[in-house]
């Protein structure tokens, strides 16, 4: 490329020849100038925005960083949401596991109180389930749906636990009543010889009221408590001979008379079926036997109403 320069000061024109290298160099110089100018303008605007706190000027350069910060913030919030839900569900799961262990323990106790063997119910194993695979499409559970089902299951476990606990209390109370009721024969080897009520006195032949029942047995035959209770008397009586009385609560007392030996003292706690004495012939008797009475509120009761007598 030739450039001709004409001037009134010079008599002749001047010619400048530009080659490819000159053209490339000039273009590079122009680009460098533009880049430098852009940097200077950017620096000036940023400095002005920082000093003047101009929101419109600051927003020109903060939109991109704000979008990046927003995306990272949303990702962090999503992770925190998942983590919080997982922590809440793990806590709920731990509570359910503890409640299930409590239900297993209650179930075993109720089974024993009801007369069943706990191993027959397999409390330690999950219930067996099965069935054909459905052809219908299935959707995965969301966190919200899973949390809702966990809450519903927790409420069901609480309700079942309360019901089972009430049943356990009722069975325990019933079992205690059975333990305190004189329902066991006070002698295991003997013959039932005299009933409760009016009879002829064996000594004078007159009509007299018999306050208990008699069991004829060999001397030294063990006498057992008909029910659990506390010994309130262990003494010698002129007519009953060696006598033991056991208080079972609710104003219910049993009396064991004509013993050869008394094996308990006042204040002793006895359990149903526990040996408390031995058959003898002390007191007003015609021979070795056990005289047994049941007294409620100070009034003699027919022992056969309580005892499981055969025949």
Domain ranges of the chain: 2-52, 191-305
Spatial separation of the C-alpha atoms in residues 292 and 210, rounded to whole Å:
11
Query: Per-residue confidence at 144, pLDDT binned at 50, 70, 90?
Result: confident
Instruction: Taking residues 198-216, report their average pLDDT.
Output: 90
Query: Per-residue confidence at 22, pLDDT binned at 50, 70, 90?
Result: low
pLDDT at 57 over 70: no
Q: Is residue 296 classed as helix, strand or coil in its secondary structure?
A: strand
Q: Which residues, including other chains, have CB under 8 Å from residue 248's CB and lie 6 or more apart?
A: 180, 181, 182, 227, 228, 229, 254
Indicate the CATH number for domain 191-305: 2.70.70.10
Asked if 192 and 213 count as a contact pair (C-beta separation under 8 A), the reply is yes
What's the pLDDT at 50?
56
- pLDDT tens profile 63-91: 656 666 677 788 777 777 777 777 777 77
User: Token digits for 80?
Assistant: 């925190």
Instruction: Taking residues 130-141, report their average pLDDT.
Output: 62
> By C-alpha distance, which of 257, 255, 265 is closest to 298?
255
- Per-chain mean pLDDT for the chain: 77
Spatial separation of the C-alpha atoms in residues 260 and 220, rounded to whole Å:
7
Q: What single string gives the DSSP state of each residue in 204-238?
A: T--EEEE-SEEEE--TT-EEE-SS-EEEEEEEEET
pLDDT at 11 over 90: no
């Amino acid at each position: 490329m030739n450039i001709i320069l004409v001037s009134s000061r010079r008599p002749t024109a001047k010619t400048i020849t530009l080659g490819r290298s000159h053209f490339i160099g000039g273009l590079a110089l122009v680009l460098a100038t533009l880049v430098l100018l852009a940097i200077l303008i950017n620096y000036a605007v940023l400095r002005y925005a920082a000093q003047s706190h101009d929101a419109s000027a600051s927003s020109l350069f903060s939109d991109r960083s704000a979008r990046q910060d927003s995306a990272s913030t949303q990702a962090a919030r999503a992770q925190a949401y998942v983590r919080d839900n997982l922590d809440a569900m793990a806590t709920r799961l731990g509570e359910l596991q503890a409640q299930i262990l409590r239900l297993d323990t209650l179930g075993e106790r109720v089974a024993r109180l009801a007369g069943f063997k706990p191993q027959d119910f397999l409390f330690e194993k999950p219930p067996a389930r099965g069935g054909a695979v459905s052809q219908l499409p299935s959707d995965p559970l969301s966190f919200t749906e899973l949390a809702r089902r966990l809450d519903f299951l927790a409420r069901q476990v609480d309700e079942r636990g309360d019901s089972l606990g009430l049943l356990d209390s009722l069975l325990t109370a019933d079992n205690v009543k059975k333990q305190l009721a004189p329902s066991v024969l006070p002698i295991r080897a003997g013959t039932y010889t005299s009933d409760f009520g009016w009879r002829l006195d064996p000594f004078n032949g007159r009509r007299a009221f018999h306050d208990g029942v008699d069991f004829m047995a060999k001397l030294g035959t063990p006498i057992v408590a008909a029910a659990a209770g506390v010994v309130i008397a262990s003494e010698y009586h002129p007519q009953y001979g060696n006598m033991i009385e056991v208080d079972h609560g609710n104003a219910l007392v049993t009396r064991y008379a004509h013993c050869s030996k008394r094996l308990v003292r006042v204040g002793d706690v006895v359990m149903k079926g526990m040996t408390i004495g031995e058959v003898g012939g002390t007191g007003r008797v015609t021979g070795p036997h056990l005289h047994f009475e049941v007294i409620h509120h100070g009034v003699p009761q027919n022992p056969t109403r309580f005892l499981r007598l055969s025949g």
